[in-house]
Amino acid sequence: MLISFLTHTGSRSLQYFQLARFSALFLISILLARLSGDKILISQYELFLLIAGTFTFFWVNGILKAFLPYYSQADILKRKEIVFHNFLWLCLCSIFSSTAIYFTGTLLYPSLNQEYLLWLVIYTFFSAPSYFTEYLLFAENKRKTLVLFSTITFILMVFAVIIPVFMGKPFVYSLYALVIFSILRFFYLVMLIGKSAKPAFNFNLFMESAIYFFPILLITLAGGFADYFDNILVSNLFTKTDFTLFRYGAREFPIILLLANALSISFSSQIATGLKNNTLNKELLNLKKESLQLMHIAFPLTILLMIFSEPLFNLLYGESFRDAVFIFRIYLLLVISRVVFPQAVSSGLLLNKMMATVSIIELCVHVSLSVLFINIFGIKGVAYASLIAFMLEKIVLGLYLKRRNNIHFSDYIPTGWFLIYSGTLIIVFLTDFF
């Protein structure tokens, strides 16, 4: 029954993958806090993931987001070639990133334990390309395999990190287990590539793939770097304990974030198909309906979480993490921008240049406000900067679609429900604030 529900649509199986991935990370953070309580150990784990993510997030997301519409528009023979050449690009970028971490990791992050550097390099090399696995399964409509694979692998990831800590072993043993986990995922991907790809190098297609994903890579870099900048800023201006509290507080509600991301990725492909088949209005209406369903889930859960965040933090992490609660409440407001999808429409209409420009503007606003607000409000100022910048990005994209394509907010956003839900959430936040 559950498998049937999760595989009923392709977007639902992709949503489950993203949910399983981030839920594993969330569960690890809870278990580390409860089983260890050692903030230095937790700080090293968070820094380990932060460094790996800093050097890989832009090209992994850029290549994978470009892959799905690129793959779906091609004929069967070309699809096999696309799979192979995208895998090559992922491996090449992984080599470059791993090398960069080896030579600059401890320079950029002096607090990183030197003993962990080599394991971080190996983990990054194998882990980053392996996320292609789930997207390839999704592209080939292997929904059941995608759901089962996501479930098994992320359960194993939790065990890999937690079991050594539970047994009282040094933290480096968790890193050993993570490296083994990433290697196994990578070799499963190689097996899939062997079945799904045509392993023949074609320079023209190799460059065509790069031309296709490079603008999206730049968009992802501009849009995502701000988050890593915030963490770098906090880690350098505040203590390790403050950094740990910020990392625990600066988290969006993972369920909503993942459902929204998967919905956006899925509909960017559907919007492109609608444009090609002259059914754009139909796809916009479908996006509006799916957005409303997401809002009916996202806003009530977020409001409840806003109200009960303090006792929930005490339950999950303990009293020592109480100072992270207000940061968490600010980040909950990001749900307002997450449940509207002008970026999915823009991507489907192939407005990559415009999206890149808006992303650069958003990055500049985010960085500038983070530096300004951190001197006014302390660590909380970084959260306020994130909130303003993300909302600004969605507004600018929506206004551009209205001006250029005559696509109004109301064409893909259920504006009535959106305003009611958003207003209620803001009132709850302000009530708690005062």
Are residues 82 and 161 part of one domain? yes
Residues 6 or more apart whose CB falls under 8 angstroms from that of 222 comprise 356, 359, 360, 362, 363
Distance CA 48, CA 84 (A): 30
User: Does the pLDDT at position 29 exceed 70?
Assistant: yes
Instruction: Give the pLDDT of residue 340.
Output: 92
Residue 129 has a pLDDT of: 93
pLDDT confidence bin for 364, thresholds 50/70/90:
confident
Residues in Cβ contact with 365 at an 8 Å cutoff, skipping those fewer than 6 apart: 388, 389, 392
234 falls within a domain: no
Residue labelled with tokens 């409509």: 141
Q: With b meaning 16 or more CB within 10 Å and e meaning fewer, what string describes 70-80?
A: bbeeeeeebbb
Looking at the domain assignment, is residue 235 inside a domain?
A: no
Verify that 77 and 158 share a domain, yes or no: yes
Residue 171 belongs to some domain of the structure: yes
The least confident of 5-14, 310-319, 403-412 is: 5-14
Q: Residue 415's pLDDT band (boundaries 50, 70, 90)?
A: very high
**When comparing pLDDT for 139 and 338, which is higher?**
338
In whole numbers, what is the pLDDT of the chain averaged over residues?
83
User: Is residue 282 included in any domain, yes or no?
Assistant: yes
Poorest-pLDDT segment among 111-125, 236-250, 266-280: 236-250
Top pLDDT among 126 and 9 is at: 126
What pLDDT score does 292 carry?
A: 93
**What pLDDT, on a 0 to 100 scale, did the predictor assign at position 259?**
83
Average pLDDT over residues 239-246: 68
- In a 3-state reduction of DSSP, which class is residue 126? helix
The pLDDT tens digits of the residues spanning 257-293 come to 778 888 888 787 778 777 777 888 888 998 999 899 9
The predicted model gives 181-192 an average pLDDT of 92
- The share of the chain scoring above pLDDT 90, in percent, equals 21
Confidence category of residue 212, pLDDT binned at 50, 70, 90: confident
> Which residue range(s) make up the domain with 318?
250-434
Whether residue 109 has pLDDT greater than 80: no
> Stretch 406-411: mean pLDDT, rounded?
91
Nearest to 69 by CA among 296, 202, 265: 265
Domain endpoint, select from 170, 194, 227: 227
Residue 158: what residue type? V
Report the candidate in 63, 42, 172, 59 with the shortest Cα–Cα distance to residue 120: 172
Residue 239 within any structural domain of the chain: no
Are residue 255 and residue 343 in the same domain, yes or no?
A: yes
- Count structural domains, the chain: 2
Predicted local distance difference test score (pLDDT) of residue 53: 83
Instruction: Determine the pLDDT at residue 432.
Output: 65
Q: Give yes or no: residues 144 and 285 share one domain.
A: no
- One domain for residues 6 and 83: yes
The predicted pLDDT at position 196 comes to 85
Say yes or no: 324 and 222 in one domain.
no
Pair 222, 258 in one domain:
no
More confident residue, 122 or 257: 122
173 and 259 inside one domain: no
* C-alpha to C-alpha distance for 15 and 11, rounded to whole angstroms: 6
Mean local confidence (pLDDT), 6-22: 71
Task: Kindly indicate the confidence band of residue 319, based on its pLDDT and cuts at 50, 70 and 90.
Answer: low
Question: Is 243 domain-assigned?
Answer: no
Burial of 232 (0-12, 13-18, 19+ CB in 10 A): middle
Claim to verify: residue 214 and residue 274 sit in the same structural domain: no
Q: What is the value of pTM for the model shown?
A: 0.74
Contact (Cβ atoms closer than 8 angstroms) between residue 22 and residue 203:
no
pLDDT of residue 4: 56
Annotate 83-107 with DSSP letters as a single string.
HHHHHHHHHHHHHHHHHHHHHHHHH
What mean pLDDT is predicted for residues 240-250? 68
Same domain, 214 and 293: no
The Cα–Cα gap between 141 and 125 comes to 27
* Poorest-pLDDT segment among 160-174, 179-193, 228-242, 346-360: 228-242
Higher pLDDT, 167 or 292: 292
Indicate whether 17 pLDDT > 60: yes
Note whether 175 and 293 are same-domain residues: no
Alpha carbon separation from 13 to 135, 140, 247, 287, 288 (Å, rounded): 10, 12, 28, 17, 20
Specify the pLDDT at position 224: 66
- Phi-psi label, residue 168: left if phi above 0, alpha if psi -120 to 50, beta otherwise: left
Lowest mean pLDDT among 31-45, 56-70, 290-304, 350-364: 31-45
Q: Which two tokens mark 190?
A: 């190689």
Mean pLDDT score, 155-178: 83
Quote the pLDDT of residue 426.
92
Per-residue pLDDT band at 318 (split at 50, 70, 90): low
Over residues 324-341, the mean pLDDT reads: 86
| 272, 73 contact by CB (below 8 A) | yes
DSSP 124: H
Judgement on whether residues 216 and 272 belong to the same structural domain of the protein? no
d(C-alpha 394, C-alpha 338), whole Å:
9
Which is more confidently placed, 187 or 317? 187
Note whether residue 398 is domain-resident: yes
**What's the rounded mean pLDDT across residues 316-331?**
74
Contact 179, 126 (CB under 8 A): yes
Asked whether residue 19 is domain-assigned, the answer is yes
**Per mean pLDDT, which range of 122-136, 258-272, 380-394 is the poorest?**
258-272
Instruction: Determine the pLDDT at residue 265.
Output: 81
Residue 143 confidence (pLDDT): 81
